[in-house]
Amino acid sequence: MSLYRIALNPNRCIGCKSCLVHCNVKNKLPAGISLNRIKALGPFNGPDGRPRMEFVYQNCMQCDDPFCVKVCPSGALTKRAEDGLVWLDEEACIGCNRCTEACPWDVPVAIEAWGKTKKCDYCKDRVDRGLDPACVTGCTAKALTFIRPAV
């Protein structure tokens, strides 16, 4: 089980997608590619009768038994034993896209220009230095929280 989670406070999210922008900049992704998503729900009438929107944030689930890791023929996808982070070694990735087909949440993304796949790994390099993922740091409304294991 992953010891980490990214939680969304739906009462704070304004759907600005700054989390996506910060992720894309950090990962140097081509335009139109995203490792996480914001889905808009609504508009609908809120409890006070006023129209409102709600937003759902989706990134890698860091699965207990990840399908993507099971189908990767090159061993590029790994689940770290110490904390459960599922990450992709870009050097080892052969771009077969089996992981993109296996993931029920469409998290790994094929990047045709690179001939590789990329996926959310909670910014493993940042987490390893004690920092929050780029999406959390860049959230304008402070709606995202990186949940770390209790020490």
Q: Whole-angstrom Cα distance, residue 124 to residue 86?
A: 9
Residue 151, pLDDT score? 61
pLDDT above 70 coverage of the chain, percent: 99
Cα radius of gyration (the chain): 16
Residue 104, pLDDT score? 95
Q: Which domains does the chain have, with CATH numbers?
A: 5-147 (3.30.70.20)
> Which two tokens mark 16?
């600005």
Per residue in 97-143, pLDDT tens? 999 999 999 999 999 999 999 999 999 999 999 999 999 999 999 99
Residue 25 predicted with pLDDT over 70: yes
What kind and span of H or E run contains 98? helix 98-102
Q: Whole-angstrom Cα distance, residue 67 to residue 102?
A: 6
Mean pLDDT of 67-79: 97
